[in-house]
Structure 1
Amino acid sequence: MILRAALTAALLLLPALARAEIDITEVKSPGGLTAWLVEDHDIPFTALEIRFRGGTSLDDPAKRGAIYLMAGLIEEGAGDLDSRGFAEARDALAAHFSFGASADGFSVSARFLTENRDQAVDLLALALNQPRFDEDAVARVREQVLSGLRSDEKDPAVLASRAFDAMAYGEHPYASAGRGSIDTVQALTRADMVVAHKAALARDRVYISAAGDITAEELGLMMDRLLGALPETGAPQPGRAPWLLKPGVTVIDFPSPQSLVTFGHEGIAQDDPDFFAAYILNEVMGGGRFSARLMNEVRDKRGLTYGIGSYLIGMDHSESVMGQFSASNDKVAEAIAVIRAEWQKIAAEGIAEKELAETKTYLTGAYPLRFDGNAPIASILVGMQMQGMPIDYPNTRNARIEAVTMDDVKRVAARLFRPEALHFVVVGRPEGVTSEP
């Protein structure tokens, strides 16, 4: 679940307006595709990001893990090139391609030099449109996935996340792991990869961005070369996820001197008018700084854990406020009590004027190194599109943060933080903590 927070955090911690303005151009291809572009000819290379909405949530339930496995096979041979031939062709061009599948999207990332752009684009087009899915490649990558799934059975964080999702989402795809289970992945075949490819990669769900040494005209032509032959439509989206998790505690027995605890409840959508107030509130409660309330109360004052945080997690079909920490088994009960108390306190009292001012200063002044360069910028742009943000968001975001008032945070605190709704999933052998209700 922490990974789900990464996109929201990346989108919000954009460069401060006072330090940098991002000039984004909307590009239309001759074939009707749309992209966002930040043009920069200082360095002769381009970063390209492509996202297809849907991701592993589009799996046939009986074929869970198919899209995730398919993502690992895209680069394992295409057209007349087998796996080795494709890798050699890519390396000869000094190009970089990566493919991945998350719960809500199928991602394609590419970087290539201007001098090799045409050849690199042709090779990438081959991978996207004519993947081979050779039987030996399917068997090899499938075993890699299975190895990871076996390791997951010994990972408390994975076990906690699985249990939380299963209880929260019922029959929705979010309720089960996008990588599938050992049983479903073992049964996947080459034919399943072909079906998964058609389900996930389609023109009706694609988002594109680029940054670097390329013009709008060149990008428009490139988009059609890469994506023009893909199916117009893919598998239907799964729809809104229910929230079925009731308040309480779930303990999963795990032989360890420490327990891993995941906790949370429903959250707030990023397009909600109260979102920026909620974002500030969560930064005060459990953001990445040592001054956050949870770090102060649970870690610094009481020494119950080494680290703890909370996150606003926005997915396509659900929103949540989540947190996680590890603690020795004899300290878990006290840590849970402190978290509940802090949840209650902020809901009832909001935050202090000093906390609001300091958090605004931090959020508007932050300039994370992850946004320094063509590849990070391209990734941010495609994320903005998928979140439905306006094209001028990087240059207006700080004003939205500054516009949040004390009245806003007081009102939204009572809406966002609901101590009576918290559920804790504890993986370990905590002392004095049992499953409830």
Structure 2
Amino acid sequence: MSPAASPVETGQPAGFSLPIQIVRAGGISAWLVEHHSVPVVSLSWSWSGGASLDPEGQEGAAAMAAALLTEGAGPLPATAFADALRDDAINLGFSAGRDGFEGSLRSLTESLPQALRLARLAMTEPRLDAEAVERVRARGIANARRNLETPRGQAGRAFWAAAFPGHPVGRPATGTAESLAALPPEAIRAALARQLRREGLLLAVAGDITAPQLAALLPELFGPLPAGEPPAVPPLPGFQAFGQKIVPVASPQSAVIFGQEGLAAEDPDWEPLQVVLRILSGGGFASRLMHAVREQRGLAYGISGGLEVLFRRGIIIGAVATENARVAETLAVTREEWGRMAATGPTEAELADAVAYLTGSLPLAFTDSRRIADTLLGMQQNGRPPDWLAGRPTRLRALGREKLAQVAARVLRPEALAAIIAGEPQGL
């Protein structure tokens, strides 16, 4: 094995294993899982920042910048760039979320040199042609307006604004119709300049590539980027327990977004909380909320919730939609189940089922190179060591009902469960 790579064996019992290698070259580090059965290579990478670095009044700058990276680069205008990707079956994309800026690449092994060339061009020589800028702007404005046409879209925007007032996370990550319409090209270039840097990079690679081959391409792909890291993101304040708010929307149904503060990714109770939420709200028809809301009372077609990770903090967030006349009862039942889990925790049977699912389904996250790369990137973003997966089944199986009850009592607070209702709910 190349001296540029060090292996870390990670897996679970029953024969599942995932050998992660750490490859370093040119000041850049990557996690690698070699997988040579299919001639495909996938890369996923990210920087901290994203929409959180958009200046006030320029919401959507990072999102527009990400979309424009594949709209022509270097000598290739948008159509020629798209043709080059298509001709070699290359998948290249960029996106900006609330707390990060990500890139991804997937190609056949034989097309990897061309894929790397196009990805490097996109990051170092984006054209930002006027026609492309206006086309992407028009698409963004249309999407922003479309999102506000539905109760769910209005509820989502209002939820984040109320949960984190005054913080960039509380603003629409993809911008508003107004901010996008007023966004000058200089703001897009500034977003790229502060985001695409050689340092502060997290990178995961999976597929038909060896450690020495990866070590050779790291400086080729990322070396031309400007030195330094993206600016520091503003610290995320605590979740604002804003109670219950109604956003009037003329609709026969209301959309409800509910949530509360969760835990930091490094908190020792992170995995027990995942099991608690699997039982309470994330287990489909097996969850308590689905049983109480849909099966017992027929209040809604579905209800679910889980952890959304921002700045390595887990925010508990859930959603349900129902007739306006049933919103009040649906919320009452949801808070009741929230409180019941906080008071007594799960049953032994619920614990066994949840752990069996979480351990048994783990290999499904590694069925192709793209999913492997995305999972490895997510581990790095949450500060996990490479051997974290290896111990996960054992850690989950060691959890007892008493431990989960303690975590549920510590975290779940029905009185602090905040809710946005977009629609014309009755009785609230």
From 398, 402, 409, give the equivalent of 2:404: 409
Query: What's 2:287 paired with?
Result: 292
Which residue number corresponds to residue 85 of structure 1?
Answer: 80
Which one is further off, 78-87 or 91-100? 91-100
Deviations 1:269-310 (A, max 9, x none): 221101111111111100132121000111100000010011
2:21 to 15, 25, 28: 25
Conservation of the 8 A alpha-carbon contact between 1:15 and 1:367: no
**1:119 positional shift:** 2.1
Q: For 1:17 and 1:109, locate their aligned partners in 2 and report how far apart those are by CA, in whole Å.
A: 31
1:422 aligns with 2:423: no
Cross-structure match for 1:74: 69
Paired letter, 1:81: L
Is the CA contact 1:24–1:37 (under 8 Å) kept in the aligned structure 2? yes
Q: Which of 385, 403, 411 is 1:390 aligned to?
A: 385
Which of 264, 267, 270 matches 1:269? 264
Aligned partner letter, 2:224: A
* 1:242 equivalent in alignment to 2:237: yes
Match of 2:197 in 1: 202
**2:362, 2:402 → 1: CA distance?**
28
Structure with a larger share of its residues in strand: 2
Deviations 1:249-279 (A, max 9, x none): 1011111111111111111122110111111
Query: Residues 190-229 of structure 1 correspond to what in structure 2 (within 5 A)?
Result: 190-229=185-224
Give 3-state SS (helix, strand or coil) of 1:77's partner: coil
5+ long unaligned stretches in structure 1: 1-13
Contact 1:128–1:226 (CA<8 Å) still a contact in 2?
A: no
Could you say which residue in structure 2 is the equivalent of 1:11?
none
**Which whole-Å CA distance do the structure 2 matches of 1:18 and 1:100 have between them?**
37
The C-alpha deviation readout for 1:24-54, integer Å capped at 9, x for no partner, is: 100001x110000011222222111111221
Q: Deviations over 1:124-145 (max 9, x none)?
A: 1111111010111101110000
Is it true that 1:172 corresponds to 2:163 in the alignment? Answer: no
1:416 CA displacement: 1.3
Structure 2 residue runs of 5 or longer lacking an equivalent are 1-9
Query: Partner letter of residue 211 of structure 1?
Result: A
Mapped contact 1:198–1:234 kept (Cα < 8 A): no
Q: 1:318 to 1:391 in 2, by over 3 A?
A: closer
| Bigger RCO (CA 8 Å, 6+ sep) | 1
**CA distances 1:305-343 after superposition (whole Å, capped 9, x unpaired):** 010011122211643211110111111111111111111
After alignment, is 237-246 or 195-204 more displaced? 237-246
Q: Is the 8 A contact 1:268 1:314 kept in 2?
A: no
Alignment partner of 1:312 is 2:312:
no
1:158 equivalent in structure 2: 153
Counterpart among 261, 270, 274 of residue 279 in structure 1 = 274
Structure 2: distance between partners of 1:114 and 1:238: 36
Q: Taking structure 1 as reference, are residues 368 and 295 closer, same or farther at Cα in structure 2, changes over 3 Å only?
A: farther
Partner secondary structure for residue 41 of structure 2? strand
Aligned residue type for 2:124: N
Aligned positions of 1:318-333 closer than 5 A = 318-333=313-328
Percentage of identical aligned residues = 38
Counterpart for residue 124 of structure 1: 119
Indicate how the Cα distance of structure 1 residues 399 and 376 shifts in structure 2: closer, same or farther if over 3 A, else same: same
Separation in 1, partners of 2:336, 2:193: 49
| Partner SS state of residue 346, structure 2 | coil
Alignment of 1:338-417 (within 5 A): 338-367=333-362, 369=364, 371-417=366-412
1:233 aligns with 2:228: yes
- SS of residue matched to 1:290: helix
Work out whether residues 52 and 234 of structure 2, in 8 Å CA contact, stay in contact via their aligned partners in 1. Answer: no
**SS of structure 1 residue aligned to 2:244:** strand
Q: Alpha-carbon deviation of 1:154?
A: 0.6
What is the number of equivalent residue pairs in this alignment? 419
Query: 2:96: which partner in 1?
Result: 101
3-state SS in 1 of match to 2:22: strand
SS in 2 for 1:117: helix
Paired residues of 1:276 and 1:404 also in contact (CA < 8 A): no
Residue type at the aligned position of 1:305: A
1:346-372 alpha-carbon deviations (Å, 9 max, x no partner) = 111111111111211111111575531
| Secondary structure of the corresponding residue to residue 204 of structure 2 | strand
Distance in 2 between residues matched to 1:19 and 1:431, nearest whole Å: 54
Summarize the alignment of residues 141-152 of structure 1 with structure 2, pairs less than 5 Å apart. Answer: 141-152=136-147
Contact 1:241–1:317 (Cα < 8 Å) also in 2: no
In structure 2, the residue matched to 1:9 is none
Q: Is the 8 A contact 1:170 1:244 kept in 2?
A: no
Aligned equivalents of 1:160 and 1:112: distance in 2?
38
Higher mean displacement: 245-254 or 210-219: 245-254
Q: CA deviation at 1:234?
A: 4.4
- The amino acid across from 1:398 in the alignment is P
Q: Secondary structure at the match of 2:19?
A: coil
Residue 91 of structure 1 deviates from its aligned partner by 2.1
Distance 2:408 2:111 in 1: 52
